[in-house]
Structure 1
Amino acid sequence: MTHLPSCKKIQNNRDGVHCAEMAMVCLNDFEEYAKVHLNKLTWDYYAAGADECCTRDDNLLAYKRIRLRPRILRDVSVSDTRTSLLGTEIAFPIGIAPTAFHCLAWHEGEVATARAAESVNTCYISSTYSTCSVEEITAAAPNGYRWFQLYVYRDRKLSEQLIHRVEALGYRALVLTVDVPYTGKRRDDIRNQFKLPPHLKVKNFEGIFQENVGPDEYGVPTNTLDPSISWKDVYWLQSLTRLPIIIKGILTKEDAELAVEHGVQGIIVSNHGGRQLDGGPATIDCLSEIVDTVQGRIEVYMDGGIRTGSDVLKAIALGAKCVFIGRPVVWGLAYKGSDGVREVLQMLAEEFRLSMALSGCRNIAEINRNLIQFSKL
């Protein structure tokens, strides 16, 4: 049964005003709050999956097909959730996935998200399609650990300029998103004729497309993304920067092997939250074969469908170095801005710590596949 938050009557907080406290017990409570308080077009945009939303929904359902095999009498009086990404320590293996247009959910947008990530010492992957610029994000959280999510554009100079900007600002890695040669068909966005409201812009592109008078898609001109992107572009990126390159959007062992062969430093197992190819597998179902293929040569992360601490535990047990959450971050923003995002991260981290302890694990190193049992249901 989904827990519905009990609360006082609350005014709409889209202007950044939080009018009453709610008893948030789980991530579903943040989702229920956001669904009520965001306008319909914004909610539909964040919630959307491609076509019939089968893959979006299976991202969540797949965790319920996995059972845990807890060990007992292990002295879990002290636990440690710390891990490292590319050699940098973070407080727990839960980071923030790149999601667009945070100002739709909260007036401060990505600036608030960055502050929350910095406050709990975890990784924030900043989206190309942010409604705050990379410079504004850096200024808001100068000590935060940040990666930058990158697309390859038909105009390669545009991608190149973004790379140089984030490199100069101290971003620590590039996350090349490879599953969007074309944008997936999201039916509600088409029905709603979704566009960014006039007062918001994709700030990283501010001034670049001013002379373009053609139609736009999600805040930038159509036909900007390059469907000809291929593995050779990984080498091109490596020629431009010394930043580690992580490929986001891999779902098969064949592509995982190619990623290793092309010298990238990491993989994010991802189906774009079910927003691209409908009918593809849930990300947690792809994780094991990719981890087995990589065999520790590069780091493997994943996103998609994480809603509880036990979900995090299952992903780590199957070999993920870290998980990244997307939609729950937006729900936290809608609830209370930076404080709401911090609450989402802390809640998930504490649930993860509890799941670890109840499974007999005292630290990340003790989490392994012996904890996992796949349900026959």
Structure 2
Amino acid sequence: MRGNRAPDFFNSGATNQVTIHENSSSYQKYRILPRVLKDVSNVSTAIRLFDRDITFPLCVSPAGLQGMAHADGELATSRACAKAGVNMGVSSYANHSVEQIIAAGTEVGPIHHVMQLYSMTDREKEARIVHRAEKAGCKAIFLTADSPVLGVRFNEWRNGFMPPAGLDYPMIEKTSEQIQQQSHDDGFSSFNSASHSWAEEIPWLRSITKMEIWIKGVLTPEDVEMAIQYGCDGVVISNHGGRQLDETPATIDVLPACAKAAQGRIRIHIDGGIRSGSDIFKALALGAECCWVGRPMLWGLAVRLTLSVLWESIKS
């Protein structure tokens, strides 16, 4: 990774880091009860999502600053998702543009993307992100609903985290030079709207795009019901990977109640702490249609960078 502060940004959670750890450990509480003498010779893991079949109920979550893990960043992730036959989320904090990311994936094979979005004080800029994503071919907006303010991340504060020089945020229209003029926290608070609401965000988004609208960051049955009432297409049961409000429940623990509340009226996806096929199976059994992962993808990018550096060192 570029610089020794990157691991803290990618791996740490908010305040006491309770939620980030329980996201993974909570899966260990659930046990798989198999049924026997079932014909599984023609079982398929494929599901239909965003008007195409994907090979597996697993997609890659929107995660920012992938260029800090590898120079290719989101371009490499898009190519990998296309090769694996799954979908990818694009972060507003991506280091490459949505147009470049989609082009990189489609050069490898069929792939669909979704665009992650924050509620912004600058509505014109927010609309430009939406329109660019739709024109580029994104199938849905993932509105991040759990971030009225940025989570308190002590490790980032302690180490004075700043994105490395040379990395832009093309989707929110900020150059590296502009990014370096503010702290990471100040940069977020300067564009994010803390006054977001169901009544303001969803009708406005419906008025400017034909893409699906999903709410990312739901943890309660009540908010599942709100998403249904406002005509959203899906929700992602998520606590932002433990990076926002600490000591919220693990996503797998709230999934059953949220799925029960949905009653098939809205699509239910989940992220947070998913690290194995068994975890995916448990999430599906408890009511999710599909799982999304972020950190495993970032680790893969970082490992690839480390191996590349090591190989160049050996050659020299």
Common fold: TM-score over 0.5: yes
1:199: Cα distance to partner? 1.2
Q: Does residue 1:174 correspond to 2:141, yes or no?
A: yes
> Residue 5 of structure 2: SS of its match in structure 1?
helix
1:268–1:303 contact (8 Å) kept in structure 2: yes
Alignment of 1:62-77 (within 5 A): 62-77=26-41
Amino acid at match of 2:293: I
- Whole-Å Cα distance in 2 between the matches of residues 313 and 115 of structure 1? 25
Structure 1 residues 192 and 300, CA gap change in structure 2 (3 angstroms) = same
Q: Does residue 1:94 correspond to 2:62, yes or no?
A: no
Q: Which one is further off, 81-90 or 219-228?
A: 219-228
Structure 1 residues 111 and 160, CA gap change in structure 2 (3 angstroms) = same
1:94–1:122 contact (8 Å) kept in structure 2: yes
The residue number in structure 2 matching 1:116 is 80
1:214: Cα distance to partner? 5.8
1:219: Cα distance to partner? 8.9
1:218: Cα distance to partner? 6.0
TM (norm. structure 1) is 0.77
The residue number in structure 2 matching 1:278 is 246
Structure 1 residues 214 and 108, CA gap change in structure 2 (3 angstroms) = closer
- Whole-Å Cα distance in 2 between the matches of residues 212 and 60 of structure 1? 32
- Whole-Å Cα distance in 2 between the matches of residues 258 and 227 of structure 1? 19
- Whole-Å Cα distance in 2 between the matches of residues 312 and 255 of structure 1? 23
> Residue 92 of structure 1: SS of its match in structure 2?
coil
Aligned match for 2:166, one of 194, 199, 203:
199
Structure 1 residues 228 and 170, CA gap change in structure 2 (3 angstroms) = same
Structure 1 residues 208 and 241, CA gap change in structure 2 (3 angstroms) = farther
1:74: Cα distance to partner? 1.6
> Residue 226 of structure 1: SS of its match in structure 2?
coil
The residue number in structure 2 matching 1:240 is 208
The residue number in structure 2 matching 1:189 is 156
1:196–1:219 contact (8 Å) kept in structure 2: no
- Whole-Å Cα distance in 1 between the matches of residues 180 and 73 of structure 2? 26
1:78: Cα distance to partner? 3.5
Higher RCO (C-alpha under 8 Å, 6+ residues apart): 1
Amino acid at match of 1:250: V
- Whole-Å Cα distance in 2 between the matches of residues 145 and 254 of structure 1? 30
The residue number in structure 2 matching 1:84 is 48
1:172–1:243 contact (8 Å) kept in structure 2: yes
Aligned match for 2:192, one of 204, 208, 225:
225
Structure 1 residues 210 and 47, CA gap change in structure 2 (3 angstroms) = closer
Q: Does residue 1:294 correspond to 2:275, yes or no?
A: no
Alignment of 1:27-42 (within 5 A): 39-42=3-6
1:96–1:125 contact (8 Å) kept in structure 2: yes
The residue number in structure 2 matching 1:33 is none
> Tell me, which stretches of 5 or more residues in structure 2 are unaligned?
309-316
1:121: Cα distance to partner? 1.2
The residue number in structure 2 matching 1:44 is 8
1:202: Cα distance to partner? 1.3
- Whole-Å Cα distance in 2 between the matches of residues 235 and 208 of structure 1? 31
Aligned match for 1:54, one of 13, 18, 22:
18
Amino acid at match of 1:136: Q
Q: Which one is further off, 209-218 or 111-120?
A: 209-218
> Residue 108 of structure 1: SS of its match in structure 2?
coil
- Whole-Å Cα distance in 1 between the matches of residues 303 and 287 of structure 2? 32
- The alignment covers a number of residue pairs equal to 303
Per-residue Cα deviation, 1:110-135 (whole angstroms, up to 9, x for no partner): 00000001111111011110011112
Moved over 6 A (4+): 208-213
Structure 1 residues 220 and 201, CA gap change in structure 2 (3 angstroms) = farther
Amino acid at match of 1:119: K
Per-residue Cα deviation, 1:250-304 (whole angstroms, up to 9, x for no partner): 0000111010000000000000001111111000011111111111111100000
Aligned match for 2:223, one of 255, 259, 272:
255
2:165–2:180 contact (8 Å) kept in structure 1: no
Q: Does residue 1:156 correspond to 2:98, yes or no?
A: no
